[in-house]
């Protein structure tokens, strides 16, 4: 029999706040974390806005000397993981350490470190490149550092699937516990992509919104959407086997019951027509959960605010859910957080879990001119109270990666 898996702790650093509490409060109020681009010279780029993390101090969590040996994306992950474990009231002792694992994804890893060290290489030569260059840059180092700080000696991995990295990581960690290879997994996604090269690449690919107004630049499912807004941050969850969590008296946010992952086999950046790959991931997650499509009450959409993504995700939902697509609610919190790339799935899984626990559906803000082809209930502009039992979170990534998670309101 499959072992039950529950969420017992959450931690996040986002453009809306440096804790889950701050972030979730802003989400419920429909506030935007998007502002003018400040981390790099905005005059260099056609995109002028970003969803930047503000007033974050890693030294509140670790010592300065250690922090200097980590990239910003690792800072976010370590801080979020420490907050999540504290929230779960989990003590990782020698007795359980080898049954506690870490699985945190990142789409592009330490881009800031790469840029800085390449500039050093050009100006001062190879001998001046930091010996920490590679361990700071590689995407798996977020998981590595979290395991070191927490003493977690179980399975340790990093899924790199572009914008689906966080969701795939959570799904993969869920399966580790379900099959019995660990009792606890610290999992999610992290990203710090607001650097010159990443912005240049996404601008050249015409993926970013060119709307200079921070308040309206991210507008998923709106007819006037013109691209995503780049964001940064991390979202980390503590997953535990149900009986293990109950035995130690842990509070439980929700149960995770389904995971689906597919490949488009179509194009390096464009989604498969009609959302065919996304539809299969959604269906696989529902089948894995052992429920019917009509059981799903809410979907936290990938909803990037790009023309094709929003349309094809809408079509995928209609394919899987049929008439029920018009009865469920589906919103994009990227309208407020921007697109956190590999961290998106981690942060959005937290929103999905909190929506279940509190009975509040996050809104899609800036939805004022609906696209006629995007005609579902996207919870426009204001959060909504709703008693929901099953919820889903979707992520879709460059390379044709599609991932979906199903969560259930906890039943003791």
DSSP letters along 309-372, please? HHHHHHHHHHHHHGGGGGTSEEE-THHHH-B-GGGHHHHHHHHHHHHHHHTEEPPBTT--SB-T
Looking at the fold, whether 85 and 156 belong to one and the same domain comes out as yes
pLDDT at 389 over 90: yes
Residue 257 in any domain: the answer is no
Report CA-CA distances (Å) from 373 to 135, 216, 221, 370, 402: 46, 20, 9, 8, 22
Residue 409 in any domain: the answer is no
In this structure, the number of other CB atoms found within 10 A of the CB of residue 343 comes to 37
Q: What is the DSSP letter of 2?
A: P
d(CA 101, CA 103): 7
DSSP letters along 101-138, please? EEEEE-SS--HHHHHHHHHHHHHH-GGGS-TTHHHHHS
Looking at the fold, whether 278 and 388 belong to one and the same domain comes out as yes
Give pLDDT, residue 1: 79
Residue 38 in any domain: the answer is yes
Looking at the fold, whether 130 and 190 belong to one and the same domain comes out as yes
Angle of CA points 191, 197, 200, to nearest 5° = 110
- Report pLDDT digits (tens) over 163-222: 999 999 999 999 999 999 999 999 999 999 999 999 999 999 999 999 999 999 999 999
Q: Among 247, 272, 287, give the residue marking a domain's end.
A: 247
Task: Show the domain range for 159.
Answer: 5-247
Task: Report the domain count for the chain.
Answer: 2
Q: Among 247, 280, 295, give the residue marking a domain's end.
A: 247
Residue 411 in any domain: the answer is no
pLDDT at 81 over 90: yes
In this structure, the number of other CB atoms found within 10 A of the CB of residue 71 comes to 27
pLDDT at 411 over 80: no
CATH number of the domain within which 49 lies: 3.40.47.10
What residue has token string 């008439």? 323
Helix (H, G, I), strand (E, B) or coil at 141: helix
Residue 84 in any domain: the answer is yes
Looking at the fold, whether 291 and 182 belong to one and the same domain comes out as no
Looking at the fold, whether 312 and 395 belong to one and the same domain comes out as yes
Q: Among 247, 280, 311, give the residue marking a domain's end.
A: 247
- Report pLDDT digits (tens) over 11-68: 999 999 999 999 999 999 999 999 999 999 999 999 999 999 999 999 999 999 999 9
- Report pLDDT digits (tens) over 320-367: 999 999 999 999 999 999 999 999 999 999 999 999 999 999 999 999
Residue 112 in any domain: the answer is yes
Which of 188, 170, 177, 178 minimizes the C-alpha distance to 155?
177
Looking at the fold, whether 296 and 214 belong to one and the same domain comes out as no
CB 133 within 8 A of CB 117: yes
Token duo for residue 13: 């650093």
Looking at the fold, whether 97 and 21 belong to one and the same domain comes out as yes
- Report pLDDT digits (tens) over 109-165: 999 999 999 999 999 999 999 999 999 999 999 999 999 999 999 999 999 999 999
Residue 256 in any domain: the answer is no
% of the chain surpassing 70 pLDDT:
100
Looking at the fold, whether 283 and 209 belong to one and the same domain comes out as no
Active-site residues: which are they? 163
Looking at the fold, whether 226 and 324 belong to one and the same domain comes out as no
- Report pLDDT digits (tens) over 265-297: 999 999 999 999 999 999 999 999 999 999 999
Looking at the fold, whether 289 and 329 belong to one and the same domain comes out as yes
pLDDT confidence of 412, banded at 50, 70, 90? low
DSSP letters along 214-242, please? TTTS--TTBTT---B-BB-EEEEEEEEEH
Looking at the fold, whether 101 and 54 belong to one and the same domain comes out as yes
């Amino acid at each position: 029999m499959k072992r039950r898996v529950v969420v017992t702790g959450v931690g996040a650093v986002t453009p809306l706040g440096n804790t889950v509490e701050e972030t979730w409060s802003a989400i419920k109020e429909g506030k935007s974390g998007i502002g003018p681009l400040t981390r790099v010279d905005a005059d260099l780029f056609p995109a002028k806005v970003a969803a930047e993390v503000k007033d974050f101090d890693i030294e509140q969590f670790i010592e300065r000397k250690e922090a200097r040996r980590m990239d910003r994306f690792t800072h976010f992950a370590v801080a979020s993981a420490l907050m999540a474990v504290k929230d779960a009231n989990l003590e990782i002792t020698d007795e359980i350490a080898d049954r506690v694992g870490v699985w945190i994804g990142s789409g592009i890893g330490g881009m800031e470190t790469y840029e800085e060290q390449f500039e050093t290489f050009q100006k001062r030569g190879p001998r001046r490149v930091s010996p920490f260059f590679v361990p700071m840059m590689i995407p798996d180092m977020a998981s590595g550092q979290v395991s070191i700080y927490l003493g977690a000696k179980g399975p340790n991995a990093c899924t790199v699937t572009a914008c689906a990295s966080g969701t795939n990581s959570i799904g993969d960690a869920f399966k580790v516990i379900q099959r019995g290879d660990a009792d606890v997994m610290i999992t999610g996604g992290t990203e710090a992509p607001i650097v010159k090269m990443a912005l240049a690449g996404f601008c050249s690919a015409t993926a970013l919104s060119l709307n200079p107004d921070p308040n309206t630049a991210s507008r998923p499912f709106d007819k006037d959407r013109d691209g995503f807004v780049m964001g940064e941050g991390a979202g980390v969850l503590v997953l535990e086997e149900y009986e293990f969590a109950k035995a130690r008296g842990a509070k439980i946010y929700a149960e995770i019951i389904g995971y689906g992952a597919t490949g488009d086999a179509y194009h390096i950046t464009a989604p498969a027509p009609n959302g065919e790959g996304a539809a299969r991931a959604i269906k696989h997650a529902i089948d894995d959960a052992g429920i019917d499509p009509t059981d799903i009450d809410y979907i936290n959409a990938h909803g990037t605010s790009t023309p094709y993504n929003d349309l094809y995700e809408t079509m995928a939902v209609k394919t899987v859910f049929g008439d029920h697509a018009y009865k469920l609610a589906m919103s994009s919190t990227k309208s407020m957080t921007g697109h956190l790339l590999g961290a998106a799935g981690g942060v959005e899984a937290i929103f999905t879990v909190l929506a279940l626990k509190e009975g509040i559906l996050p809104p899609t803000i800036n939805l004022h001119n609906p696209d006629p082809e995007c005609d579902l209930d996207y919870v426009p502009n204001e959060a909504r109270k709703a008693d929901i039992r099953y919820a889903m979170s979707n992520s879709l990534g460059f390379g044709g990666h599609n991932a979906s998670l199903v969560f259930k309101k906890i039943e003791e």
